[in-house]
Structure 1
Amino acid sequence: MEIEGTIKLIDETKTYGSKGFRKREVVITTDEQYPQHILVEFIQDKTDLLNDFKPGQPVKISINLRGREWTNPQGETKYFNSIQGWRIESLQQQDGSGEMPPVPPMEAFEPAEDLKEEDYDDLPF
């Protein structure tokens, strides 16, 4: 699955437990009639994917939906959902993106005056 939107917030990487579990969260604001603020978490080595991004930047994030079950000490079962990102791409145009350069105005060109009639007759039909 993928979601698109503008980065609202990028949190710092946080480390948990003795094994060094890492997690970093980003909030994306969708661009629709009723914008949604979606929290996406990146874990372990994927936390570094957010290093080159900034708030206000339009992005597309590839995500997985995760769900888990937990039973508290009183025996009640609870369910939790999370959205985990595994790829993030900028939606802004990059320099050298393959777009044609702008064409200079007509006044920048000199008219060709040395053309002969036979120059126009080079078509094979």
Structure 2
Amino acid sequence: MELQGIIKKLGEVQTFPSGFQKREMVLVTEEQYPQPISIEFLKEKGDLLNPLKEGDKVKVSINIGGREWTSPQGDVKYFNSITGWKIENIESGGGFEPTQAAPSSSASTPAQGGNVFEEDEDDLPF
């Protein structure tokens, strides 16, 4: 699976007592409703982030994992993780502007003479 967007944040390498290392990156997708997605790079894959900077437009190959956890009270919870294993710099950006969304298609603008308050059923963010 792949995600594409602009790097909002590059975290530092985190080293744990076991010697395990990870590095996190926040990627903001470029769609009608941009989403900040946290992606982990484990072990030596963290080095893939070294040549990148915030504002760069990238394509990231990811794996999605899930796990189940049972609390001491017996409640079962589920957690997801997104792990990057390959990253491609599409273009270097001039900085991240969180208030600017990617240009949307003309479908999101009302037709000339149309009702501004009418919305498509497909415009819902969920």
State the TM-score, normalized to the length of structure 1. 0.70
Structure 2 counterpart of 1:74: 73
1:82-124, Cα deviation, whole Å (9 max, x unpaired): 100000000028xxxxxxxxxxxxxxxxxxxxxxxxxxxxxxx
Structure 2 counterpart of 1:40: 39
- Distance across 2 between alignment mates of 1:30 and 1:65: 16
Structure 2 counterpart of 1:111: none
Structure 2 counterpart of 1:22: 21
- Distance across 2 between alignment mates of 1:9 and 1:30: 13
Larger relative CO (CA 8 A, sep 6+): 1 or 2?
2
Cα RMSD, aligned residues only? 1.2
Structure 1 counterpart of 2:3: 3
Ranges of 4+ aligned residues in structure 1 off by more than 6 Å: none
Q: Please state how far the C-alpha of 1:75 moved relative to its aligned partner.
A: 2.0
Aligned length: 92
1:53-64 → structure 2 map (5 Å cutoff)? 53-64=52-63
Structure 1: segments with no counterpart, 5+ residues: 94-125
Q: Please state how far the C-alpha of 1:3 moved relative to its aligned partner.
A: 0.3
- Distance across 1 between alignment mates of 2:69 and 2:16: 19
Structure 1 position 50 matched with structure 2 position 49 = yes
1:82-121 → structure 2 map (5 Å cutoff)? 82-92=81-91
Question: What is the letter of the counterpart of residue 49 of structure 2?
Answer: L
State the TM-score, normalized to the length of structure 2. 0.69
Per the alignment, in what secondary structure is the counterpart of residue 62 of structure 1?
strand
- Distance across 2 between alignment mates of 1:38 and 1:8: 9
Q: Please state how far the C-alpha of 1:29 moved relative to its aligned partner.
A: 0.8
Identity, % of aligned positions: 57
- Distance across 1 between alignment mates of 2:38 and 2:65: 13
Question: What is the letter of the counterpart of residue 8 of structure 2?
Answer: K
Structure 2: segments with no counterpart, 5+ residues: 93-126
Larger radius of gyration: 1
